[in-house]
Amino acid sequence: MTLDRKTWARNMEALDRDIEKQRERERKARERSARNAQRKIDRLRKELSDAGELNDFEEQFAESVGERIDKYGSAFANPSLGRPGDALSSAQKRVVSAMKKKAKDAKKAAKAAQAEEPEPEAEAPPRAPFKPRIVE
């Protein structure tokens, strides 16, 4: 089966369009992954700082990863450290996971401390003395 030049050109254009669509989908997925990672790190950072559990390493980690995600769309450059479409490397994901566990534990501790505090009982307003009805 031989293809003439026009048929071959049409086939190549269709193939190029398909490849371009795939690249666009991958680009959007990378951007979405970066936004999600940034949002997750910001949320964890806020939760830990509100609980007073944020240490210097976690603060610097969140800051530097956030800067790299904003600038490059990914927080790591070496493809052997993570999957190509991911915004965080495997090691960075472990740190984020540890931060998530720490935030969850801090939230549980705060909830337990709040449950231990007895609620002050509100005094009932004074009632009028009982008067029986006498029907005669």
* Calpha distance 123→135 (Å, rounded): 34
Positive or negative CA dihedral for 24, 28, 31, 37? negative
% pLDDT > 90, the chain: 43
Q: Which residue has the higher pLDDT, 30 or 135?
A: 30
- Condensed to tens digits (0 to 9), the pLDDT of residues 75-126 reads 887 777 877 778 888 889 999 999 999 999 988 988 888 887 766 666 777 8
Choose between 46 and 75: higher pLDDT.
Answer: 46
Instruction: Answer whether residue 25 shows pLDDT above 90.
Output: yes
Non-local (6+) Cβ contacts of 110 within 8 A are: 51
Q: What is the DSSP string of 68-112?
A: HHHHHSSS---GGGS-TT-SS-HHHHHHHHHHHHHHHHHHHHHHH
Q: What is the mean pLDDT of the chain?
A: 87
> What's residue 1's pLDDT?
56
Which of the four pLDDT bands, split at 50, 70 and 90, describes residue 72? confident
Q: Does residue 2 register a pLDDT over 70?
A: no
For the question of whether the overall pTM of this predicted structure is more than 0.75, the answer is no
Across 3-7, 44-48, 54-58, 119-123, least confident range: 119-123
Closest CA to 86 of 70, 100, 74: 74
CB 86 within 8 A of CB 62: no
Q: Which range (6-10, 46-50, 84-88) has the least confidence?
A: 84-88
Q: Which two tokens stand for residue 55?
A: 């240490």
